């Protein structure tokens, strides 16, 4: 049963009594809604943005602009000690059974932040069950509030049971500024490369707007001794970026 706007605001206010509350703002539509809900509930809002080091420039700019406009304290977390493409060379491209990118560039900096903060942290996210079957399977068990051992923090998913229609309705109702990456690339842009992005038009657009970023993907493929491919198609099938775009 999806929570109403009123109930979510009450829940966030209640959580603040027991936790140091942060909003995980990725620049996506769902986390935008949660950030706006937090602003309705709290006097001061702190947003945590994880720069994956392979984030699209447009996404970085958007997140900074929204937080500045709304008076939100923005905390940006970014790994400076390792390079994504160096790890691709070392471990190969991320895939379904070995999503090292999530661990190294999202979970690890968030865990380090929570440990450094040394308080009872609670992170609000924009996760919804309607996003994918994987999300539905995992979060149906975890529920709306749970302790995430990977990041050493409690996590609350206030719009977990909302569907896309409810998210769209909220955005339209309050005139929220949507990330321009959606209209340009068809996605939020938190990672300009992902093994599960298989849309040819996306990579064509990336090569046009950011040829240097696109080149990094192609160079990584070419550096693989066994002809490693960047794109995962499912059931063990992969596709080379250079073949997808340069045919």
CB 220 within 8 A of CB 85: yes
Longest dimension (CA), the chain: 58
Q: What is the pLDDT of residue 135?
A: 62
Query: What pTM was estimated for this model as a whole?
Result: 0.92
Angle between helices 29-41 and 57-70 (to 10 degrees): 20
Task: Mean pLDDT check: name the lowest of 62-66, 100-104, 176-180, 218-222.
Answer: 218-222
pLDDT at 227: 64
Q: Which residues contact 235 (CB under 8 A, 6 or more apart)?
A: none
The predicted-structure confidence for 171-195, as pLDDT tens digits, reads as follows 999 999 999 999 999 999 999 999 8
Residue 238 has pLDDT above 90, yes or no: no
Q: Which of 4-13, 76-85, 126-135 has the lowest mean pLDDT?
A: 126-135
- What are the domain boundaries of the chain? 5-192, 193-247
Where helices occur in 26-163 by DSSP H, the ranges are: 29-41, 57-70, 84-91, 100-102, 108-117, 133-142
Residues 36-72: pLDDT tens digits?
999 999 999 999 999 999 999 999 999 999 999 999 9
Banded pLDDT at 246 (limits 50, 70, 90): low
CATH number at 5-192: 3.40.50.620
- Mean pLDDT computed over every residue of the chain: 91
């Amino acid at each position: 049963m999806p929570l109403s706007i009123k109930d979510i605001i009450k829940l966030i206010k209640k959580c603040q009594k027991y936790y140091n509350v942060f909003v995980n703002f990725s620049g996506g539509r769902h986390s935008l809604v949660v950030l706006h809900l937090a602003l309705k509930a709290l006097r001061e809002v702190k947003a945590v943005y994880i720069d994956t080091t392979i984030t699209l420039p447009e996404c970085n700019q958007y997140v900074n602009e929204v937080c500045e406009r709304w008076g939100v304290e923005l905390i940006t977390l970014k790994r400076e000690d390792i390079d994504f493409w160096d790890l691709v060379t070392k471990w190969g491209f991320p895939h379904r059974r070995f999503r090292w990118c999530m661990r190294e560039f999202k979970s690890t900096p968030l865990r380090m932040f929570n440990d450094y903060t040394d308080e009872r942290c609670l992170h609000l996210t924009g996760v919804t069950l309607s996003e994918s079957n994987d999300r539905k399977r995992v979060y149906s068990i975890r529920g709306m509030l749970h302790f995430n051992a990977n990041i050493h923090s409690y996590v609350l998913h206030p719009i977990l049971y909302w569907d896309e229609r409810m998210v769209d309705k909220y955005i339209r109702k309050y005139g929220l500024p949507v990330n321009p990456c959606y209209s340009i690339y068809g996605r939020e842009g938190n990672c300009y490369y992902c093994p599960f992005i298989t849309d040819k038009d996306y990579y064509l657009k990336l090569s046009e707007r950011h040829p240097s970023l696109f080149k990094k993907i192609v160079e990584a493929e070419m550096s693989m001794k066994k002809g490693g491919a960047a794109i995962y198609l499912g059931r063990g099938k992969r596709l080379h970026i250079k073949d997808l775009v340069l045919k």
